[in-house]
A = this chain, B = another copy of it.
Amino acid sequence: LITIADDPRTLGELGEFGLIRALTQRLPPSPRALVGIGDDAAVLATPDGRVVATTDFLLEGRHFRRDWSTGRDVGHKAAARSLADVAAMGAAPTALLVALAVPPDLPVGWALDLAAGLAAECERAGASVIGGDTAQAPDVRLAVTGLGDLAGRPPVLRSGAAPGDVVAVAGPLGHAAAGLALLSSGLRETSPSLVAAHLRPEPPYDAGPEAAGLGATAMIDVSDGLLADLGHVARASGVLIDLDPALLRPAEVLRTPGGSSARPGNPDHAQALRWVLTGGEDHSLVATFPPGLTLPARWTVIGRVLSSQDMLANQGTPTGQGALGVLVAGQPWQGGLGWDHFA
């Protein structure tokens, strides 16, 4: 192992093939890769006869800032974004392909930290980096492809939610958004755990196959915000989803990010609920399950699935926010909807 975490050289001095060698040494080989890093393409075993595949950008200035995130943070986050999508299909993550563009003046150590973060998050998920690409760019850019294995089960789609199902979430809600708010306000030290939730989300990968095994009817990962992502489920399934604010209890840390006390009705509580409903990037999993199941403890029930007729009966044709297909305590949410990449 070349020990160049403190290497004073830049990537421009190391060269493309030196960078690839150094990165590869930090990425453990995959037991499932028949051909790994170093050929024209990788070859991954897919004994199930199907492969789950998804790809995501992680762009400096858009998805992360180098003055907030270490290389290791960025590696964790890049892997988490794609592998959470794999888990949200009910699949176990198996492999990652990483396209990485870097400026020539990037310190070598930053790139090696990135590789360490990718490797560590892959290990959390049970996956490995099996290939990639490198290029030069004025800023750091990643595009990460996640692959996964359904182990014989049908995929859990967005379109299977049915009236009467319960809605449940595994993983935190609003923590990443609160962490981003603290970073943006220069309050990084106020709650290191919330800041960490933004910089290094920890999707509950194994909750994905677990939900599939329990008979989940629909599932999605919370990347754009709970309302926005459940809106995709509601529209794809042709249903309404009604969230119960009494069940959406924001975590204590979220209600007091500045250390102040917070009770329902005061501004901190309203802000916490907003983070829970519209904050993205937690990469928690939210799923619908048939009624009457006993769910494992990490799944918190937060609402139920209604027939789309229920809203028509109550309120006429859905319009405006109502068209989202997600209600909070039976009413359209009046706040923002979450993240639009072009807004």
Contact = CB atoms under 8 A, between A and B. Distances in A.
Tell me the number of copies of this protein. 2
Contacts of A91: 41
Contact of A155 (B43, B85, B101): B43
A55 to B, nearest CB: 4
Contacts of A55: 55, 97-99, 131-133, 143, 145
B50 A43 contact: yes
B50 A45 contact: yes
Interface residue range, chain A = 35 or more
Interface stretch (A10-18, A168-176, A209-217, A293-301): A10-18
Please provide the 6 A-B residue pairs with the shortest distance between their CB atoms, ordered closest to farther.
Answer: A143-B143, A41-B54, A40-B88, A55-B97, A46-B46, A40-B85
Contacts of A99: 55-57, 143
A19 interface: yes
Contacts of A63: 135
Interface in A321-341: 340-341
Contacts of A104: 342
A202 interface: no
B51 A44 contact: yes
With most chain B CB atoms within 10 A of its CB, the pick from A34, A62, A63, A99 is: A99
A130 to B, nearest CB: 7
